[in-house]
Structures are given as C-alpha cells and as structure tokens.
Amino acid sequence: MRRTITGFSNPTVKAIRALRDKKHRRRAGQFLAEGLRLLTDARENGHLPRQLVMATGRDPHPLLDELEAAVSAAGGEVIETSRDILSKITGKDNPQAVAGVFDEFDTSLSSLDRSRSGIWLVAQALRDPGNIGTMLRTGDAVGAGGLILIDDCADPFGVETVRASMGAIFTQQMAQARWGDFLVWLRRAEGQLVAASLRDAVPYRGAPYAAPCFVLVGNESQGLPEEYETACDLRVTMPMRGRADSLNAAMAAAVLSYEVLAALDA
Amino acid sequence: MRRTITGFSNPTVKAIRALRDKKHRRRAGQFLAEGLRLLTDARENGHLPRQLVMATGRDPHPLLDELEAAVSAAGGEVIETSRDILSKITGKDNPQAVAGVFDEFDTSLSSLDRSRSGIWLVAQALRDPGNIGTMLRTGDAVGAGGLILIDDCADPFGVETVRASMGAIFTQQMAQARWGDFLVWLRRAEGQLVAASLRDAVPYRGAPYAAPCFVLVGNESQGLPEEYETACDLRVTMPMRGRADSLNAAMAAAVLSYEVLAALDA
C-alpha cells in the first residue's frame, strides 16, 4: 500500500534525508540509494529497500512496478512524494524518480565468502568516496569477490560512494577492518597479498600472481605504510612516465586487477 | 609588487570568481587552478598564471616565493587576500592557500605535436569533468602525448577537471574537435585508431597495437557510436565479469593505455 507524503517537515522525510549524514546512517544502520537502475541491481542481488520513495509524475516503468510489488510483499513501505521533496532527500537538483532506504550490510571480515572469487580488492585509508565507489565497480568488472576497507576509509555507505559504485555496492561483498585484524583473518587460509608499491617491487606485468589474490592499494596521497608493504607476499610496480604519483589509487587498482585477472586466466 | 584586496565585492575578485562558470571562462579565455602543487607543475611546464592569488596567513614556502617572483617578472599580478575571499573564489570551504588565473591553451588539432609520444588518448562525448581530469592524469602516467576531446565533452578548463587532473592539465597536450575534423587530421599522417568496444572486437591483450596509437573511449552511458567504431583501425574488448557496462570510461582508458604501453615497449 502506498503512502503519500506532501510536507517537507514530515518526520519520515526528515529521517530519510538525515541518511545523507554519516552519524545518522550509523545510528539508523541504514543508507540511501537512488535510481531505478541501482535499485534493480539491488533487487537482483537480494537486497530490497525497507522504504521505497517514488516521485509523483514519474514515467511508468515495468521494473518499477515489479520493485514496488516486491517491496510491499516483503513488508516494506512505499512512499509517493513530490520531486521537490525527493530533491531535498537526495540533495540533487534533478533527482532520480526513485530512491530506496536499505539496511546496511554486515561488513565484518567473517561475513566474506573467500571461495567466491580468485580476486579481491583491498584499500587502505582511501579517503575519497568516489574512489571507493569506483573500486567497487572495478571489482564487479573483473569478477572480484569484494572490497575490503582497511583502517580509516571513507564510508562505503555514503551517498557519493553508492552513486559512484553504479550498483556494484550490491554485487560486491564488503568488509571494514583494522590492518592487524585483516592480517590475522587473511593468514587463516590461503591467500596472496599483493601491494601496488614503489619500493623493492617487481614489474606488475608477468609477476607471479596466485589465487586467491588480494590486491592492496594505499591512501591517495601517502600510499601504503612501509610496514604494510613488508607484510605483503608480493610487491609490484607500474610504469610511471609522468610525475611520480600521477596514477590515481582507483586507476592503479583497475590496471592491476586486470593484470591479475589475465594472469589467473592464463 | 603585491596588491591587497579585502572586499568581497572587489571587481577583480568578482572576475576571478566568475571563472568557475563556463560562459565567463569562454569570454575571458582564462581558467582557474588551485594549490601550490598544481601551480608548481604549471610553472615547470612553462605555464605561469596571469594572476596569482595568495591567502593572508598562509604558511611560507620557498616554491611559493619562486612562483611569486616568476609571476612578477613575467608582468603578472600578485594579489593577497583573505582565506574567506579565496574560499569564495574557489568555492571550497577549506581553500588551498594559493590559486592562479591562467590563459586557456590553444586546443586546435594543429596545436598538437604528434611526434611527442607513441600513445594518445581520445575521448568522445565524455560528460563527467572528473573523468576528463582522470584521463589527463592517466595520460601523464603512461607518458601519452595528450588528450583529444571529440564532440561535446565536459569543459577541460572547468574547476573540477583541473582539480581531478592533479596538474596533468599542464603536462598533457589537449585538443577539442568534431569527429569529422579529427578523422581528417588523423589520416593526414601515420596513426592507429583503437576503440574500446563491445562489437566485432579482438581481446585487448595481445592485440596488434602500433605507434602512434590513439586510444578512443566513448561516452559514459552510450559508449561509442557504431560508425565511429567502424572507422577505427582496431576494436578491442576487455573482459567484463560483472554487469555489461560495469567499467567506468576513465578506468577502461587506463587499463587499455597500460596495455598499449606494454605492447609498444615490448
């Protein structure tokens, strides 16, 4: 059953809008995703929104009808509201016609299924939400199992991250951990930890990659701490023909992931 | 000689601030770049700002002193102003301590020096300023000659593009052209046009790349028009293990550029 909301000061609107803020996301354990495409990706991967918010005057779409039916059947709430209110909720001048409120996933290391793929992406202290979203998307492209966020990374449930992931937040598994805990978890089973590095490293092409391979990139400006690199099984370096730090962290992860994919497939 | 500006409504402040807007950039033929790192990259590559804007209370830095001296010697203007006004100019809450106003470069095809490199990046209808900045940065990393923007791309002199390029806007050559004009220019000399494609394509690894190689990627959501792909000398495809369009255009360009770099070096 649909509920219609017309007031900006409606408490439900306020609560959903507050999910743009990290503190409120933590408290609610929920996050916001926008757009029919993303919400359809979510549904296909077993994630239904608790609340589905649709704009009045939207174009009808069979996928949206299916989504609405699925949300209702699962006991979720379907809300119809104005474009203006949806714009206020999402913070965009031209909001998508639909948004959803999802429960945050379990991001403990123990929630990961290591047998899922031979490639995993690992990011340390990555601060840019767009970079995290892009890494999720790259992970999806190479068929990685998921993304592990080490130390203080940007919030993977932030609006910008979710947007930049283009739906991959729903296809990739995700964990958050401190470095020490990650290492203990990693060494409990087979797994090769590979650092994108400038120190004591072999060329990234033709390096002896082995599955399951965990591809680790460091912070956008500092790179990886030296002791983290030392703990890796393999350090690889990519040619830099321009200024030393000219490759974006998410780019380096993409180039390296495709190299690992090719090596494991060979 | 330094000039001090204290008023928000000062016409110079207004004129510089207006450069955040494309229309005003076109009219003035100038653009804005922020940060000592970017401005130093600019200087090292032969670009000095017409106007150098510095915040009062900034930390002293020898590179900033050198920059100021160089701008003054070249007849440029050095302006000292408050953090608040600098924040207003750059649109950032925590602005860098320094910004510069640069003349836009000549972006005609004839300004390109084809002998400069064996790799060039080409983007068609790329709409995201961040993607264009990232492609410039990738170009810098692989030692490309520059970036050619085909049809209606985001403005390469926009604040977001310049920021995302991390200085590569000053190290890479750049041209803007319609497709037809680009093809005429390309075919006037040797050059292999390679499309990142899903149609009738060979695997991107081990494809017969040849210098000078022009790596072409298409619009973020539509990809390349079919007739553009047909005009290419080589169409290559990358594995997509996730959803079909899961790779970001700038990511695809990076993975492909590194492959071309390795092939040409071999």
| ipTM for this prediction | 0.89
Tokens representing A8 are: 């900006």
Look up the CATH architecture of domain B109-265.
3-Layer(aba) Sandwich (3.40)
| Among the partner residues A143, A241, A265, nearest to B143 by beta-carbon distance | A241
pLDDT tens, A130-140?
999 999 999 99
- Does 3.30.1330.30 match the CATH number of domain B2-103? yes
Please tell me the distance from the alpha carbon of residue A206 to that of residue A208, in angstroms, as a whole number. Answer: 6
Q: Which residues contact A161 (CB under 8 A, 6 or more apart)?
A: A129, A130, A132, A133, A136, A154, A155, A169
**Torsion-angle region of residue B192: left (phi > 0), alpha (psi -120 to 50) or beta?**
beta
The per-residue pLDDT for A245 is: 66
Is A140's CB within 8 Å of B167's CB?
A: no
Domain boundaries, chain A: 2-103, 109-265
Average pLDDT rounded to a whole number, residues B80-91: 90
Cβ neighbours of B192 (radius 10 Å): 18
Q: Which residues of A touch B239 (CB under 8 A)?
A: 141-143, 258, 261, 265
Is B242's CB within 8 Å of A171's CB?
A: yes
Average pLDDT rounded to a whole number, residues A184-191: 97
Residues above pLDDT 70, as percent of chain B: 99
The per-residue pLDDT for B123 is: 97
Cα–Cα nearest to A96, from A53, A133, A156: A53
Sorting pLDDT into bands at 50, 70 and 90, what band is B221? Answer: confident
What value, to the nearest 5°, has the Cα angle with vertex B256 and ends A223 and A266? Answer: 90
pLDDT tens, A20-38?
999 999 999 999 999 999 9
Q: Which of A103-112, A241-250, B192-201 has the lowest mean pLDDT?
A: A241-250
Is B242's CB within 8 Å of A168's CB?
A: yes
CB A9 within 8 A of CB A83: no
Q: Which residues of A touch B240 (CB under 8 A)?
A: 141
Name the packing angle between helices B36-44 and B62-73 (round to 10°): 50
Name the packing angle between helices B249-265 and A249-265 (round to 10°): 60
Q: Which residues contact B256 (CB under 8 A, 6 or more apart)?
A: B194, B196, B204, B215, B217, B236, B238
| Among the partner residues B239, B240, B254, nearest to A255 by beta-carbon distance | B254
Q: Which residues of B touch A258 (CB under 8 A)?
A: 238-239, 255
Average pLDDT rounded to a whole number, residues A178-185: 98
Backbone angles phi, psi at A159, to 5 degrees: -60, -40
With a cut of 70, say whether residue A244 has pLDDT above it. no
Size of interface A-B (CB pairs under 8 A): 100
Please tell me the distance from the alpha carbon of residue B237 to that of residue A192, in angstroms, as a whole number. Answer: 28
pLDDT tens, B114-157?
999 999 999 999 999 999 999 999 999 999 999 999 999 999 99
| Among the partner residues A140, A247, A262, nearest to B141 by beta-carbon distance | A247
Tokens representing A128 are: 């840019």
The per-residue pLDDT for B246 is: 65
With a cut of 60, say whether residue A49 has pLDDT above it. yes
The per-residue pLDDT for B92 is: 81
Is A248's CB within 8 Å of B134's CB?
A: yes
Per-residue exposure over A180-216, b if at least 16 CB sit within 10 Å of its own CB, e if not: eebeebbeeeebbbbbbbeeebeebbebebbebbbbb
With a cut of 70, say whether residue B85 has pLDDT above it. yes
Q: What is the mean pLDDT of chain A?
A: 93
Please tell me the distance from the alpha carbon of residue B89 to that of residue B95, in angstroms, as a whole number. Answer: 9
pLDDT tens, A59-94?
889 999 999 999 999 999 999 999 999 998 888 877
Is B141's CB within 8 Å of A240's CB?
A: yes
The per-residue pLDDT for B244 is: 57
| Among the partner residues A205, A245, A251, nearest to B138 by beta-carbon distance | A251
Using CA coordinates, name the residue in chain B closest to A259: B255
